[in-house]
Structure 1
Amino acid sequence: MEQIIGRKKEIELLTEYYHSGKAEFVAVYGRRRIGKTYLVRNLFRDKFAFDMSGSIEAPAEAQLSNFGFALREYGDSKQPIPTNWTEAFEALKQLLKAKMKGERLVVFIDELPCLDTPKSGFQQAFEHFWNGWAAYQSEIMLIVCGSATSWMIANLIDSHGGLHNRITHEMYLAPFTLRETELMLQAYGFSWTRISILQIYSILGGVPYYLSLLDKKQGVEGNVDRLFFSSHAELKREYGRLYSSLFRNSEVYMRVIEALASCRQGMTRKEIMEKLKLKSGGTLTKVLSELINCDFVRGYNTRDKKIKQKDQIFQLTDLYTLFYMTFCHPGTTDTEYWTHLMGKPRQNTWYGLAFERVCMLHIPQIKHFLGIDQIHTEYYSWRSKVSKPAAQIDLLIERADNLVNLCEIKYSQMPYTITKEEDMRIRNRMADFVAETGIKSGIIPTMITTFGVRLTQYAALAQVQITMDDLFV
């Protein structure tokens, strides 16, 4: 088996399901390029009793042909190509029956949503295959994957039809953390420093395929120029493919993404509707829910006198999308754009914004450093409704032990200096927060920086210091 970077929990679970001794139906889903197929194929490559993959936007006839060719590969080479999905799954049933010898039979169907073409009868035949036979065969382990997250959720995970409550396990594959990204780059022979890994993570996110495109002979700037700004840059064209592969009718999803990209602080549901001129209804709720499920967007609670879920603020957190919308969407003909921005305010501002998002994606690591893994917490941002200009706090972690970590997130390529003016701003924000919310918990000023806080007369403000290294766990 080829070494699989990260995914320890997923490997443990899939191995556990494999040895469960009962019929298993596992749905693995997640964004395009996240490594779903790679994980399943490398873990079970010599254990497949049948596997095939759907083809994006192929007609039903082509999908059935691919299914038929896979039946031939795993069984009778003279197997007729099925003409409909009922025939296809009946043939699969007979193939598996012939292989039953008391050992686990793994059936893997990749890109399952692609098989569900209009009026093809796929869903009904698939439901009948599982509900009518496979679910009662203790040797069968059916694994299905799909990038079309909206389809996977609606038709499998939250199905109200024939597959309602039929999936035995669902598995969402999230992007890599900073630590997993570091391990992957080390396995590929990179000797980058952690600040370089943080910078590239701030642009590509933890998407394994994007990371695999990096060239260890180039630095961060050279890689970014090649992948985003050169002629025929690979990741410049990825944006449209990404959303169309994940969501059917992807236009509305992309409109919401573009709206959120234009507002750093995030937007309420009402603000999104007004900006996009959408009518009230369930469409936006569904879109936001699915974007959150895919880790493109986070919805965080707000706080007045109490923590409020009703007035959630939605913020774009997908780093690749954020970078694309900020620098590629406007367009530039400079093929060395990122190199030419090196050290300039526009690039540093970007890394500062992205570092905030990276921290939001590593709340478990922050809680681990604070020693509050086992304590119930609520985390949220806060925006003043009184002060002018409105004071804002990026991250507050409210704890069940009656303490609140008030986090200031600062990106710098050297230890961060708290100036007299910065000290006063932070103290004013703390005072505004306490006054407006009426919170009674103790406030712990917490600095999250890349290289720590420089020791000056104002450094004592940071009662807790978290550095970039603390996120690499």
Structure 2
Amino acid sequence: MFVGRDRELATLERRWNSSQFECVIVHGRRRVGKTTLINHFLKGRPAIFFPAIESNMDGNLKTLSNSIAMYRSMVDNAGTVTDDFVDTVASAPVYQDFESALESIFQLARSRRLVLVIDEYPYLAKADRSISSVLQHAIDRHKDDSKLMIILCGSSMSFMERQVLGYTSPLYGRRTAQIKVEPFGYTDVRKFLPRYTAEDAAIAYGLTDGIPQYLRQIDDTMSIRNNVRWNIIDPDCYLFEEPGNLLKQELRSPAEYNSIIQAIASGASRLNTIASSCHMETSSCSTYLRNLIDLGIVHKETPFGEDSPRKTIYRIEDSFFRFWYRFVPANMPLIRSGNGDIAVERIMQSMNDFMGMVFEDMCIQWLWANNASGKLPFLLLDAGRWWGADPKTHSQEEIDIVATGDEPKSMLFCECKWRSVPSSLRQLETLRYRSSLLHAEHGHFMLFSKTGFDDHVIERAKLDDDVTLIDFADM
């Protein structure tokens, strides 16, 4: 089942319909569905699909040569796969270098539209550092008289953003579009798991971070509890070893990165605290954190409206990693000793607490989705979390969402509660008090609640025109 990706598909369609040379960069973290998106777009279209491999250039040239031969045979045989087709591909001559293979592809695209996909482009660039320059020269020679559409796809975020999209890359200025494929939001997760209730779909979203490959492990004919038991914490399931496998694939020192993520999951949030917890120098720890940020696992954050380095904190951005590192190491003795049923009961007791930050993300998604709907007090232009000290009590205060927009003197303040009891008037009064710490001239207040609201806060919202109540059931 193919779900969502309407914006990404629309971009690819526009580039296809131009009938001119196009070079589209598709990037995003592993497991996010880049290849699935490209394959869905390619259905019914003439294409040479070249999956680069972790090998030397000879191995990659053989793979590319086979891909070109496969396309030629499909054209010659009107798309029919025969024994001759298989033999032709197997015996295809190997191009002597990447440049001659590219020349052949550009010639094939002189008179008809053709797509060349290079999947996992970083593998190819690793095999031969000159590849980007060779590709650049081929594009410069043929772009004005070619109907070729190139799609370069890669999972190595730092490589794609710095060495393909970056200013110093030979390909800088040759791309005609770029698509960053993001994890699914809650709305698309609901489509992915149609048998689930809204609440169970929300928890599944939190458990998987909206990563399609992780969502495929969730069975919506089973309860959330059983999915956690058998599809996340069972030692034999795919997701149990996924964090470690991903770190090994992407990073050179997985043990150090594992230690840093564990420290953040255990409550460390500032650089010196994380470094101290991991027994590292702060300079080394800073480098590791930067790489985790590139991978989308960790997020660097300052209070909304501030940019002071002293207030910078780090948190686990990927909610699947947040879940795994919070619950699996602590329950590993139970899991490894065959007591997974006890472990899952312990985890489920803390599920509402885990979902608090997930619900905040869902509420921000709802705000952006409804930004021009008339449901908000003004058009939002920026939003984020805020925290800081109360000068009166010297205690730390926090506001889940603060937003500003096209009314410069107005601010929106939001409180998000994922609890089993209705939100009360106390939450609204606390939010009003905390908002005073930001000195907004005009404040607007929104309460988001998983379980609705009690009568007292409902009555207050009827009297106060600056208050909006959003029940999860209506999101």
TM-score > 0.5, shorter chain as reference: yes
Matched, 1:111 2:120: yes
Q: Which moved more, 1:231-240 or 1:250-259?
A: 250-259
Q: Secondary structure at the match of 2:307?
A: strand
> TM-score normalized by structure 2?
0.82
Deviation of 1:51 (Å): 1.0
Deviates most, 401-410 or 91-100 = 91-100
| Corresponding residue number in structure 1 for 2:135 | 126
User: What is the rounded CA distance, in whole Å, between the counterparts of 1:286 and 1:139 in structure 2?
Assistant: 43
Q: What amino acid does structure 1 have at the position aligned with 2:155?
A: S
Match of 1:308 in 2: 307
SS at match of 1:329: helix
Please show how residues 393-432 of structure 1 align to structure 2 within 5 Å: 393-401=399-407, 402-418=409-425, 425-431=430-436
Q: Does 1:68 align with 2:65?
A: yes
Query: Size of the alignment, in residue pairs?
Result: 445
Shift of 1:232: 1.0
Matched AA of 2:229: D
Q: What SS does the corresponding residue of 2:98 show, helix, strand or coil?
A: helix
Residues 1:390 and 2:396 aligned together: yes
One of 331, 335, 344 as aligned partner of 2:340? 335
Aligned partners of 2:352, 2:263: CA distance in 1, in Å? 23
Give the structure with the larger helix fraction. 2
Aligned AA (1:51):
F
Once residues 96 and 37 of structure 1 are traced to their aligned partners in structure 2, the CA distance between those partners, rounded to angstroms, is: 23
- For the residues of structure 2 that align with 1:278 and 1:170, how far apart are their CA atoms? 37
Contact 1:204 1:211 in 2 (8 A): yes
Q: For the residues of structure 2 that align with 1:446 and 1:206, how far apart are their CA atoms?
A: 25
Cα distance in 2 between the residues matched to 1:149 and 1:353: 25
Post-superposition Cα deviations, 1:87-143, rounded to whole Å, max 9, x if no partner, equal: 133124224414532x3111111111112235564334333333443x334301000
Partner of 1:176: 184
Task: Give the conservation status (yes or no) of the 8 Å contact 1:90–1:129.
Answer: no
Residue 221 of structure 1: which of 221, 225, 250 is its match?
A: 225
Determine if the alignment matches structure 1 residue 365 to structure 2 residue 369: yes
| Structure 2 unaligned spans of 5+ | 74-87
Task: Identify which of 139, 143, 151 aligns with 2:147.
Answer: 139
Whole-angstrom distance in 2 between the partners of 1:41 and 1:128: 27
Separation in 2 of the partners of 1:319 and 1:99?
Answer: 44
Q: Separation in 2 of the partners of 1:389 and 1:44?
A: 56
Letter in 1 for 2:30: R
Identity across matched positions, percent: 21
> CA offsets per residue over residues 295-345 of structure 1, 9 Å max, x none?
434444426xx643655444322111101111123324132356423763x
- Relative to structure 1, is the Cα distance of residues 244 and 98 closer, same or farther in structure 2, using a 3 angstrom cutoff? same
Following superposition, the deviation at residue 60 of structure 1 comes to 3.7
TM-score (norm 1): 0.82
In the alignment, what sits opposite 1:162?
170
Whether contact under 8 Å (1:178, 1:206) holds in the other structure is yes
What is the match of residue 58 of structure 1?
55
Checking the alignment, whether the CA contact within 8 Å between 1:29 and 1:145 is kept in structure 2 is: yes
TM-superposed CA distance for 1:160, in Å, is 0.2
Give distance in 2, aligned partners of 1:293 and 1:368.
31
Within a 5 Å distance, the mapping from 1:271-286 to structure 2 comes to 277-280=280-283, 284=286
Tell me the distance in 2 between the aligned counterparts of 1:178 and 1:64. Answer: 41
Closer/same/farther in 2, CA of residues 156 and 52 from structure 1, 3 Å limit? same
**Equivalent residue number for residue 441 of structure 2:** 441
Superposed CA offset, 1:14-61 (max 9, x none): 100111132111010111111111111111133233111123x43444
SS across alignment from 2:443:
strand
**How far, CA to CA, are the matches of 1:361 and 1:275 in structure 2?**
33
Q: Is the 8 A contact 2:413 2:431 kept in 1?
A: no
Unaligned runs of 5+ in 1: none
The structural deviation recorded for 1:250 is 6.1
**Cα distance between partner residues in 2 of 1:343 and 1:88:** 54
The corresponding residue for 2:94 is 81
CA contact (8 A) 1:447 1:466 kept: yes
